[in-house]
Amino acid sequence: MYIPRTISPEQPMRRTLFGFGMFADGQTTSCAIVADVPDRDAFRAEAIRTMKLPEAPAPELRADGSRSYFWDGALGPGTTVLDRDFQPSGKPGVMLKLLSRVTPAR
């Protein structure tokens, strides 16, 4: 799935519900998979091992109870890997997403 996101310079740097980073003057594209897995923590550990990511950071907790783990820059400058666990919100599954930000040449 290719979803271009154009960000205006007026938007501050922040994380949104879906993990998109806001930044001045650039574009974000992303690709994600969603799956219902029996053990979300084991899934996260396997994803970290397979993708050779650093240890899991502390989760960011959302208002709906879901947990989001972000690895900024893990796959190079301007990249973010997001692992989101929907179970605490009462929804099945996890989402693994890769975001890539590109700043236009000046």
- What is the span of the domain harbouring residue 24? 5-102
The dihedral built from the CA positions of residue 35, 20, 81 and 104, taken in this order, carries a sign that is: positive
Label residue 58 by pLDDT band (50, 70, 90): very high
The percent of residues in the chain predicted with pLDDT above 90, rounded, is: 33
Three-state DSSP state, 35: strand
Q: How many domains does the chain have?
A: 1
Is-above-0.75 flag for pTM?
no
List of E strands, the chain? 5-7, 26-35, 60-61, 67-72, 79-85, 94-102
Please tell me the distance from the alpha carbon of residue 85 to that of residue 39, in angstroms, as a whole number: 10
Structure tokens at 27: 């574009």
Label residue 52 by pLDDT band (50, 70, 90): very high
